[in-house]
Amino acid sequence: MYKPFKKNKLGKILGIIFASGFLLVFLVHFSFSRFPAKTKKTDANILMVEGLLPAPALEKVKNEFQHDGYDMLIITGLNFPGNYYEVSMDGYLIFYPNIIFTGDQADDFHIIEANAFSELGGKNSAHFNFFVNNSLVADFFAGKQKKKYGIRWKGKLEDIDSVMIQFDNDKYGKWGDRNLYVKEIVIDHKIIIPFLYNSVYEIGPLNGKNRIINNFNSNAEQTRNELIRMGVDPSRIIAIPGEGTNINRTLKSALAFRDWLKESKIGVKGINIISFGPHASRKWMIYNKILGKKYNVGIICYPDFNKPDFLENIIKELREFFGLVYYWIILFFY
């Protein structure tokens, strides 16, 4: 028996065809353009970059700042979430317990733990070696879950000069940025030595030449220290950390930057923002909206350092497209 073709079925088919066509156009366009944003500088005396960059990007930041006539370099970013220190390059995070006892202490077994986690899991987990007084006592692959990695050590507590965590498999690739996060050293479940003010971070080999004193608590300050180590004038770099969060990180950084501009009352001719990879359009949109019409905001775009293949590039740009839509909506409230 003949059944008439219903209009609602026709509408669904046309909708699927339209959506498929739109997606195809999007994929073709962005696969050839690599990422949607283009460099659009403005006449600026301030250069700004977020402190969430892999190490190779910092050389480009330094060159742009030193060779294009900027007065000031602003590093935005976030406070370390949960007070975990980001060990972002191969090197040694060295804790100095400074445990002082009165009277004689007998040799005994003690539990020494590192509270840590890895940004990536599985085969891309961060690996670290555990040293007590320069002696290797254990090694671990950290998981994505925050936990304590411990060893048993025999000796007097006052004889512990240092506890070192050596991160030795840093890598940046299509799967992400492999980083290790360490919060503290815990001895016998009761003596807590946080990284802040009790540790240094030595990048590369253990030779005393590239040490960062950990008297800061944000990736903005960490990036500032690294740029100073690379030769940038410290009097011309300012770190402006925002509230630590796992979502809307660029928005939080932009809000902190806006508040700092209001308080600082410095003369701003214009602001150029450096961005790497497909996020430039979203970053420019957020900062331009948050800072308002009072400031001229430009964007400087560099390609993604991990050089994604065709399919990964498509996925990244599709995600960026929906990210733009998401921020376009939430920025109505600012």
93 and 153 inside one domain: yes
Residue 182 lies in a domain: yes
If we measure between CA atoms, which residue out of 328, 322, 223 comes closest to residue 284?
328
117 and 177 part of one domain:
yes
User: Are 164 and 93 a contacting pair, CB within 8 Å?
Assistant: yes
Cα separation, 103 vs 239, in Å, equals 45
Structural domain contains residue 3 = no
Q: Which of these, 284, 282, 287, lies nearest to 326 by C-alpha position?
A: 282
Q: What is the mean pLDDT of residues 182-201?
A: 94
Is position 9 within any domain? no
Give Dmax (Cα) for the chain. Answer: 101
Report how many domains make up the chain. Answer: 2
pTM value?
0.66
Give the pLDDT confidence score for residue 290 in this predicted structure.
92
93: containing domain:
83-213
Instruction: Answer yes or no: do 97 and 48 share one domain.
Output: no
Do residues 182 and 107 share a domain? yes
Q: What are the tens digits of pLDDT across the range 85-144?
A: 989 889 999 999 887 655 556 678 999 999 999 999 999 999 999 999 999 999 999 999
pLDDT at 33: 45
* β-strand pairing of 135-141 with 163-167: unpaired
> Does one domain contain both 109 and 200?
yes
Summarised one tens digit per residue, pLDDT across range 282-311 is 888 899 999 988 899 999 988 876 665 656
Of 170, 192, 213, which residue is a domain's last? Answer: 213
For position 173, which CATH number holds?
A: 2.60.120.260
Are 88 and 199 in a shared domain?
yes
> Domain end: 213, 242, 277, which one?
213
Is the same domain home to 98 and 70?
no
pLDDT band at 330 (very low <50, low <70, confident <90, very high): confident
Identify whether 272 is part of a domain. yes
Percent of the chain with pLDDT over 70: 79
Domain boundary among 184, 213, 242: 213
Residue 10 lies in a domain: no
The reply to whether 194 and 225 lie within a common domain is no
| Integer Cα distance of 139 and 145 in angstroms | 17
The reply to whether 65 and 178 lie within a common domain is: no
Shared domain for 89 and 207, answered yes or no, is: yes
Whether residue 15 lies inside any domain: the answer is: no
Identify whether residues 58 and 149 lie together within a single domain.
Answer: no
Q: What is the CATH number of the domain that holds 310?
A: 3.40.50
Taking only the tens place, the pLDDT of each residue in 227-257 is: 998 899 999 999 998 876 657 778 888 999 9
Say yes or no to pLDDT of 36 above 50.
no
